[in-house]
Amino acid sequence: MKSTEDHREEWKARFQAVSRAQARYLYVLLIAGAFYWALHVQVMSSPPAAITDQELPVVGVKVNGAVVWGTAPTILGAIILASLGTFQALTRASEKLAALARGDDAFERLDTVPTAIDFIVYTKSRWLSRIGLLSYPIFLSLVYAEAAWVWLSVFRMAVTVSGRAVFLTIGAGILVLCLPRLVGLWISKGKRAFAP
User: Can you tell me the mean pLDDT for 151-163?
Assistant: 71
Domain span including residue 97: 4-193
CB atoms near residue 177 (< 10 Å):
15
- Is residue 36 within 8 A of residue 76, CB to CB? The reply is yes
State yes or no: pLDDT of 43 exceeds 90. no
User: Which backbone phi and psi does 133 adopt, to 5 degrees?
Assistant: -60, -25
* Percent of the chain whose predicted confidence (pLDDT) is above 70: 81
76: CB partners within 8 A, 6+ apart: 29, 32, 33, 36, 143, 144, 146, 147, 150
Q: What total number of domains does the chain contain?
A: 1
Task: Considering only residues 32 and 111, tell me which one the structure prediction assigns the higher pLDDT.
Answer: 32
CB atoms near residue 112 (< 10 Å):
11
Its pTM surpasses 0.85: no
- Give the C-alpha separation, 94 to 117, whole Å: 19
- Give the C-alpha separation, 130 to 44, whole Å: 38
* pLDDT for the residue numbered 178: 94
CA atoms within 13 A on the CB side of 125: 6
Report the largest interatomic distance among the alpha carbons of the chain, rounded to a whole angstrom: 68
- Give the C-alpha separation, 28 to 115, whole Å: 12
- Give the C-alpha separation, 40 to 54, whole Å: 14
* pLDDT for the residue numbered 194: 85
pLDDT tens for each residue of 67-111:
778 888 999 999 999 999 998 888 888 888 777 765 555 666 666
Closest CA to 83 of 137, 14, 11: 137
